Amino acid sequence: MNKLQTGILVLLMPAMGFAQQSLKVNIDASQAPQLQGWCEQAKSEMEAWFPRLINLMAPEGESMPSEINFQIKDSNDGVAYTAGTQMVAMSGWVTSHPEDIGLTIHELVHVVQHYPTYNPAWVVEGLADYFRWGIYEGKPLSWFPQSSKKNGYEDSYQVTAGFFLWLERGPAPGIVRQLDSAMRKKDYDERIFRDCSGKSLDNLWKDYVKARKG
């Protein structure tokens, strides 16, 4: 990059509201040293995506951690979890799914979320999978699993993520940021869906099921 380009970037960055937050991921692979290389890859993805996630979400002045600890646990039980700034992935899962680096992006969303409540869980997990599969992996809508249940949006994870992706691209652009913002204030309410689209959550879901069938 030449001097002129650098100068333009410096000028533009504050005006465009780019977050400056950077993240350092501390790896602990002592329980499964053979996965050190996998951890290094995950670390570099997470450190690259942390500021992007902050920009896509609505932490509005909330302070974000500058470091997190990422540990591989020697276990065949489960996939991964995050509590505050402690992220854990299980060696059994990682060994049998080495391509699943993106699981750490899902967990990283939980770090940025840091919501005061896990309720409703389908919104929390739906958003985490929206950012992981819809944004980070860039999967097309047709990739996302469907549910024909009446309240299928409550199926959470990938089902809800597909619904959010469809809402963002069609009837309710901006809804993801609205949901994230409300969750931070313990202010989630179904009316957010109507505010963003003019339609109720149940009617939006019906439209989504129809659109996916069509």
Whole-number minimum distance, CB 64 to Zn ion, in Å?
Answer: 18
Whole-number minimum distance, CB 112 to Zn ion, in Å?
Answer: 12
Residue 165 binds to Zn ion (criterion: CB under 5 A): no
Detail the DSSP E strand segments found in the chain: 24-28, 67-73, 80-83, 86-90
Contact track, Zn ion, 98-127, x by CB under 5 A: ---------------------------x--
Scored b (16 or more CB within 10 A) or e, 131-163 reads bbbbbbeebebeebebbeeeebbbbbbbbbbbb
Residue 128 binds to Zn ion (criterion: CB under 5 A): yes
Our CB check for Zn ion shows the closer of 132 and 196 to be 132
Whole-number minimum distance, CB 107 to Zn ion, in Å?
Answer: 7
**Rounded Cα–Cα distance for residues 51 and 60 (Å):** 13
Name beta bridge partners: 25: 68
Our CB check for Zn ion shows the closer of 128 and 175 to be 128
With CB under 5 A as the contact rule, which of the stretches 36-44, 128-136, 166-174, 197-205 interacts with Zn ion?
A: 128-136
Our CB check for Zn ion shows the closer of 125 and 180 to be 125
Scored b (16 or more CB within 10 A) or e, 43-81 reads bebbeebbbebbebbbbeeeebeeebebbbbeeeeeebe
Q: Are 27 and 70 in contact (CB under 8 A)?
A: yes
Whole-number minimum distance, CB 127 to Zn ion, in Å?
Answer: 9
Closest residue by beta carbon to Zn ion: 128
Our CB check for Zn ion shows the closer of 89 and 128 to be 128
Binding-site size for Zn ion (CB under 5 A) equals 2
Whole-number minimum distance, CB 185 to Zn ion, in Å?
Answer: 20
**Rounded Cα–Cα distance for residues 159 and 144 (Å):** 6
State which of positions 59-98 bind Zn ion (CB under 5 A).
none
Q: Which residues bind Zn ion (CB under 5 A)?
A: 125, 128
